[in-house]
Chain A
Amino acid sequence: DAGITQSPRHKVTETGTPVTLRCHQTENHRYMYWYRQDPGHGLRLIHYSYGVKDTDKGEVSDGYSVSRSKTEDFLLTLESATSSQTSVYFCAISQGGEAFFGQGTRLTVV
C-alpha cells in the first residue's frame, strides 16, 4: 500500500457541514492525489500536490479545497458538504512511474 493511510475510513455527515479527510504517507513521496469514485464515472481527479504548499486542481475540484503543510499529510476539505459529494474518496501517491492508492474513505452526506 506504499505506506498510505486514509482517515476516517467511513463518515456520515449532514448537508452544509464542513468535512476534512486526511491522507498520510510514510515514505516521503513528492506527489499526492485525491480522487473520487462514483458508479459509471470511474475515478476522477479532484486535486493533487507536487510538494509542500504546492497544489493544483484536477477535473472535479469545485466544492473542494486541499492543503499540504507537511510532506506526509495531504488534506481534502469539503467546506460545505452537499449530497452530490457522497462518494468514495481515494488518496494516491506516485512512485516509479505508477500510482499507488489508499484504501479509500466512504463519505455519505445526508
Chain B
Amino acid sequence: AQSVTQLGSHVSVSEGALVLLRCNYSSSVPPYLFWYVQYPNQGLQLLLKYTSAATLVKGINGFEAEFKKSETSFHLTKPSAHMSDAAEYFCAVSPNSGNTGKLIFGQGTTLQVKP
C-alpha cells in the first residue's frame, strides 16, 4: 500500500531561518506529489505539485520542493521563514494521474516561527 511519512510532527524555526519539512513516500508507480498548507480554521491550500516534469518545483510564498526518486523524498524548503508561514503543512501523493483528488496524506507537520 502506498504511504506518505512526514518526519517531525512539529518544527520550530526562527524568523529568517531556513525552513525544511521532510516528506518520504512509497509508491510502486511514478506518483504525483503535493504540498498543502493549512492555516488555523481554514481548508487546505496547494503550495506546489510535482507531476513528472522538472524535479525542482517552485510554489507559492517562496516555497520549493525537490523530487528525489532515489531517496523517495519530496522535502519542502524555504530559504527564509516569515511569521506568516506558521501553519500546518501536509505532504500528499496521488498515484493516479486521472484522479488527482484521491490523495494519500502524511500526518502533517506544524511549523512554528519564532520572532
Contact = CB atoms under 8 A, between A and B. Distances in A.
A33 B43 CA distance: 14
A98 B46 contact: yes
B93 to A, nearest CB: 11
B97 A48 contact: no
Contacts of A101: 36, 43-45
Contact of A90 (B32, B44, B51, B97): B44
A99 interface: yes
A110 B103 CA distance: 30
Contacts of A33: 101-102
A103 B43 contact: yes
Given A45-B103, A99-B103, 4 more contacts: A33-B102, A43-B105, A59-B104, A97-B97
Contact of B43 (A1, A31, A40): A1
Contact of B49 (A90, A93, A97): A97
Identify whether the interface residues of A are mostly helix, strand, loop, or mixed: strand
Interface in B43-95: 43-46, 49, 51, 90, 92
Nearest to A6: B43
Interface in A65-110: 90, 92-94, 97-104
Contact of B101 (A31, A41, A42): A31
Output the residue of A44, A94, A99 with the most chain B CB within 10 A: A99
B101 A48 contact: yes
B25 to A, nearest CB: 13
B26 interface: no
A90 B102 contact: no
Nearest to B42: A103
B105 A94 contact: no
